[in-house]
Amino acid sequence: MKALLALEDGRTFPCRSFTGPGQVGGEIVFNTGMTGYQEVLTDPSYNGQLVTMTYPLIGNYGVNPEDMESRQIQVSAFIIREYQPFYSNYRATMSLADYLMTQGVLGIEEVDTRALTRHLRNRGAMRAYISTSDLDPASLVAKANAIPSMAGLDLAGGVSTERPYRWVDNQPASLPEGAVLDASIWTGSGRYRVVAIDFGIKFNILRCLSGIAAEVVVVPATTPADAIRAMAPDGIFISNGPGDPEPVTYGTQTIRDLLNYRPMFGICLGHQILGQALGARTYKLKFGHRGANQPVKDLRSGRVEITSQNHGFAVDAESLDPNEIEVTHINLNDNTLEGFRHRRIPLLAVQYHPEASPGPHDAHYLFEEFREMMAAGGT
């Protein structure tokens, strides 16, 4: 089925839908990963975005329920060069097209993804619109320009869990009806008790926290500091999530209120929220970091990690107080801030995703360091 992709600056790309009719708009971005399309689709950090895969052949290993990063597809549209309907993988349960169609998500192929990616690298991430019914370029460009900018929008609140839940046997488990969020919430199934604040958390992060002998309770993004203190955790995890950290003021205030209460670990949006709580500024990157091949240098050891990333905003390293904050990691592509620690408070944060394992285990030590902080009792 014929389709047309139009960018807000007037550039258009003819294409075809492999999921049937549809139309959708949003911010268009690109991901440079060669594999992992299912994880990309279900990552809440991509909520509302039109995601372009730079690797040309997508769909060849199908879809399976074990590799989901959340309960549903999060992207608004999936843009690829060539769709492969004949998948081959012993774990697969359905095709990529069928998976997209079950949730009403538009997938388009025969896009010149190389030209599109180069355009976005030069011009920056921008708004776009895709349609199978309206194929008039001027009309779609106008629709793209009518889409609100993602900057200044609180997207994290829209993907956060509405109710607290446990992470049990590698899957979310509802709390009993009427369960009270206090110290009695814990079952004793793990050596350490971790409250994970959900701004768009990925399931594999919860798997990794469980892997360091932690019992995890996930709470909504709007959970106040007093409620978290009442749970008496050993550590607090601040999750990844979509969009601009600036409007997530409730999250920043909660973290500010919890500073020096228990060890903290923040990833991606959690890194940015921790930075804001410590007085730092954040800003929008030109086209963001999205892929499984971002080189990051650990300034303490000199080691270079191959990391997975998905974010369009960053913390301004110059706005951090060097007397209080140690910069620990930088991105070797553009020297942006990738990690920091507090010099006195048990707190660490990284912009990338150590749970995604592109290295494959280059960054798993961060979970161990969080465990060591909890073992030391926050000292």
* DSSP secondary structure, 367-379, as one string: HHHHHHHHHTTT-
Claim to verify: residue 248 and residue 335 sit in the same structural domain: yes
Give me the percent of the chain exceeding a pLDDT of 70. Answer: 99
- 378 has a pLDDT exceeding 60: no
SS3 (DSSP) at 138: helix
Residue burial 236-252, b: 16+ Cβ < 10 Å; e: rest: bbbbbbbbbbbbbeebb
Which CATH number fits the domain that encloses residue 96? Answer: 3.50.30.20
3-state helix/strand/coil string of 299-363: CCCCCEEEEEEEEEEEECHHHCCCCCEEEEEEECCCCCEEEEEECCCCEEEECCEHHHCCCCCCC
Q: Considering its fold, how many domains does the chain have in total?
A: 2
Claim to verify: residue 47 and residue 165 sit in the same structural domain: no
Claim to verify: residue 312 and residue 178 sit in the same structural domain: yes
pLDDT, one tens digit per residue, over 249-276 is: 999 999 999 999 999 999 999 999 999 9
Distance from C-alpha of 229 to C-alpha of 22, rounded to nearest angstrom? 47
Q: Is residue 87 part of a domain?
A: yes
How many Cβ atoms are within 10 Å of 110's Cβ, its own excluded? 17
Claim to verify: residue 164 and residue 300 sit in the same structural domain: yes
- Which residue, 111, 145, 179, sits at the end of a domain? 145
Range of the domain at 82: 2-145
261 by Cβ neighbours in 10 Å (0-12 / 13-18 / 19+) ranks as middle
pLDDT, one tens digit per residue, over 190-239 is: 999 999 999 999 999 999 999 999 999 999 999 999 999 999 999 999 99
Q: Is residue 151 part of a domain?
A: no
Catalytically annotated residues: 268, 353, 355
Claim to verify: residue 241 and residue 167 sit in the same structural domain: yes
pLDDT, one tens digit per residue, over 104-144 is: 999 999 999 999 999 999 999 999 999 999 999 999 999 99
Which CATH number fits the domain that encloses residue 334? Answer: 3.40.50.880
